[in-house]
Amino acid sequence: MNKNAKGNLYNEQLRNIKSILSKENRRAILIISWEKNILGEDGGLYYKALIYDPLSGEKKLFRTTERNPETIIIPEDNSDVNFKELIYILDNYINGNEEYLLSLKDSFNSAEIGYPYYIYDFAKDKKIKIKSFVFDKNGKLIQ
Protein backbone atom coordinates (compact mmCIF):
# COMPACT_ATOMS: atom_id res chain seq x y z
CA MET A 1 0.00 0.00 0.00
CA ASN A 2 1.52 3.33 -0.96
CA LYS A 3 2.02 6.18 1.50
CA ASN A 4 -0.86 8.30 0.10
CA ALA A 5 -3.32 5.39 0.25
CA LYS A 6 -2.29 4.73 3.87
CA GLY A 7 -2.92 8.39 4.74
CA ASN A 8 -6.34 8.29 3.09
CA LEU A 9 -7.22 5.11 4.99
CA TYR A 10 -6.15 6.69 8.27
CA ASN A 11 -8.25 9.81 7.56
CA GLU A 12 -11.27 7.65 6.74
CA GLN A 13 -10.80 5.70 10.00
CA LEU A 14 -10.49 8.94 11.97
CA ARG A 15 -13.72 10.34 10.44
CA ASN A 16 -15.55 7.12 11.32
CA ILE A 17 -14.27 7.10 14.90
CA LYS A 18 -15.28 10.73 15.44
CA SER A 19 -18.73 9.96 14.06
CA ILE A 20 -19.11 6.91 16.32
CA LEU A 21 -17.94 8.71 19.44
CA SER A 22 -19.83 11.97 18.94
CA LYS A 23 -22.79 10.48 20.81
CA GLU A 24 -20.85 8.61 23.51
CA ASN A 25 -19.47 9.17 26.99
CA ARG A 26 -15.94 10.59 26.89
CA ARG A 27 -14.79 7.73 29.12
CA ALA A 28 -15.93 5.04 26.68
CA ILE A 29 -13.85 2.12 25.50
CA LEU A 30 -14.07 1.47 21.76
CA ILE A 31 -12.99 -1.89 20.34
CA ILE A 32 -13.00 -1.98 16.55
CA SER A 33 -11.76 -4.06 13.64
CA TRP A 34 -11.36 -2.20 10.36
CA GLU A 35 -11.76 -4.10 7.13
CA LYS A 36 -11.10 -3.08 3.55
CA ASN A 37 -11.16 -5.10 0.38
CA ILE A 38 -7.61 -4.52 -0.80
CA LEU A 39 -8.31 -6.25 -4.10
CA GLY A 40 -10.97 -3.76 -5.15
CA GLU A 41 -9.99 -0.29 -6.34
CA ASP A 42 -13.01 1.40 -4.77
CA GLY A 43 -13.46 -0.96 -1.84
CA GLY A 44 -15.04 0.94 1.02
CA LEU A 45 -13.81 0.83 4.57
CA TYR A 46 -16.10 -1.16 6.82
CA TYR A 47 -15.87 -2.35 10.40
CA LYS A 48 -17.34 -4.13 13.38
CA ALA A 49 -17.22 -2.34 16.71
CA LEU A 50 -18.16 -2.42 20.36
CA ILE A 51 -18.50 0.59 22.62
CA TYR A 52 -18.42 -0.01 26.35
CA ASP A 53 -19.39 2.56 28.96
CA PRO A 54 -17.42 1.69 32.11
CA LEU A 55 -19.72 3.81 34.28
CA SER A 56 -22.96 2.07 33.33
CA GLY A 57 -21.59 -1.26 32.05
CA GLU A 58 -23.57 -0.79 28.83
CA LYS A 59 -22.25 -2.45 25.65
CA LYS A 60 -23.24 -1.28 22.18
CA LEU A 61 -22.44 -3.44 19.16
CA PHE A 62 -22.60 -2.32 15.56
CA ARG A 63 -21.05 -3.01 12.19
CA THR A 64 -21.02 -2.01 8.56
CA THR A 65 -20.52 -4.24 5.53
CA GLU A 66 -18.39 -4.18 2.43
CA ARG A 67 -21.49 -4.04 0.28
CA ASN A 68 -22.97 -1.09 2.16
CA PRO A 69 -20.29 0.63 4.31
CA GLU A 70 -22.45 3.69 5.02
CA THR A 71 -25.26 1.75 6.73
CA ILE A 72 -24.76 0.85 10.39
CA ILE A 73 -26.19 -2.51 11.46
CA ILE A 74 -27.09 -2.91 15.13
CA PRO A 75 -27.74 -6.49 16.30
CA GLU A 76 -30.80 -7.31 18.38
CA ASP A 77 -28.73 -8.83 21.19
CA ASN A 78 -25.14 -9.22 22.37
CA SER A 79 -24.94 -12.88 21.31
CA ASP A 80 -24.55 -12.02 17.59
CA VAL A 81 -21.77 -14.27 16.22
CA ASN A 82 -20.21 -11.33 14.33
CA PHE A 83 -19.08 -9.81 17.63
CA LYS A 84 -17.73 -12.82 19.54
CA GLU A 85 -14.10 -11.68 19.28
CA LEU A 86 -14.92 -8.11 20.34
CA ILE A 87 -16.75 -9.27 23.46
CA TYR A 88 -13.87 -11.65 24.26
CA ILE A 89 -11.39 -8.75 23.98
CA LEU A 90 -13.53 -6.48 26.17
CA ASP A 91 -14.00 -9.12 28.86
CA ASN A 92 -10.26 -9.74 29.02
CA TYR A 93 -9.38 -6.04 28.91
CA ILE A 94 -11.70 -4.94 31.73
CA ASN A 95 -10.50 -7.91 33.82
CA GLY A 96 -6.90 -6.67 33.58
CA ASN A 97 -5.65 -9.21 31.03
CA GLU A 98 -4.00 -6.71 28.69
CA GLU A 99 -0.71 -8.65 28.51
CA TYR A 100 -2.62 -11.79 27.55
CA LEU A 101 -4.40 -9.95 24.73
CA LEU A 102 -1.09 -8.57 23.47
CA SER A 103 0.38 -12.09 23.50
CA LEU A 104 -2.27 -13.49 21.11
CA LYS A 105 -0.91 -14.68 17.78
CA ASP A 106 -2.46 -14.12 14.36
CA SER A 107 -4.89 -16.90 13.47
CA PHE A 108 -4.19 -16.23 9.78
CA ASN A 109 -1.15 -16.15 7.56
CA SER A 110 -2.53 -13.56 5.15
CA ALA A 111 -3.42 -9.91 5.76
CA GLU A 112 -6.23 -10.37 3.23
CA ILE A 113 -8.08 -12.70 5.59
CA GLY A 114 -7.54 -11.41 9.11
CA TYR A 115 -7.71 -7.88 10.43
CA PRO A 116 -6.33 -6.69 13.77
CA TYR A 117 -8.48 -5.32 16.56
CA TYR A 118 -7.91 -1.97 18.21
CA ILE A 119 -8.83 -0.96 21.74
CA TYR A 120 -9.27 2.77 22.26
CA ASP A 121 -9.57 3.47 25.98
CA PHE A 122 -10.41 7.17 26.14
CA ALA A 123 -10.40 7.36 29.95
CA LYS A 124 -6.78 6.17 30.00
CA ASP A 125 -5.84 7.87 26.69
CA LYS A 126 -4.60 4.50 25.44
CA LYS A 127 -4.63 2.66 22.09
CA ILE A 128 -3.78 -1.05 21.87
CA LYS A 129 -3.46 -3.21 18.77
CA ILE A 130 -4.48 -6.87 19.13
CA LYS A 131 -3.54 -9.37 16.43
CA SER A 132 -6.25 -11.00 14.36
CA PHE A 133 -7.79 -14.14 15.82
CA VAL A 134 -10.95 -16.20 15.53
CA PHE A 135 -12.74 -19.01 17.28
CA ASP A 136 -13.35 -22.43 15.74
CA LYS A 137 -16.84 -23.93 15.42
CA ASN A 138 -16.54 -25.31 18.97
CA GLY A 139 -15.76 -21.88 20.45
CA LYS A 140 -12.04 -22.56 20.98
CA LEU A 141 -9.55 -19.80 20.22
CA ILE A 142 -7.43 -20.59 17.14
CA GLN A 143 -3.77 -19.81 17.92
- Residue spans of the domains in the chain: they are 3-130
Please check whether residue 54 is in contact with residue 95, taking contact to mean a CB–CB distance below 8 angstroms. Answer: no
User: For the segment 45-101, what is each residue's pLDDT rounded down to a tens digit?
Assistant: 788 999 999 999 999 898 888 888 778 888 887 777 889 999 999 999 999 999 999
At residue 98, the pLDDT reads 97
65 or 23, which is more confident? 65
| Listed residue (41, 37, 47, 61) closest to 17, CA to CA | 47
CA angle 12, 73, 126 (to 5 degrees): 50
Q: How many CB atoms lie within 10 A of CB 99?
A: 8
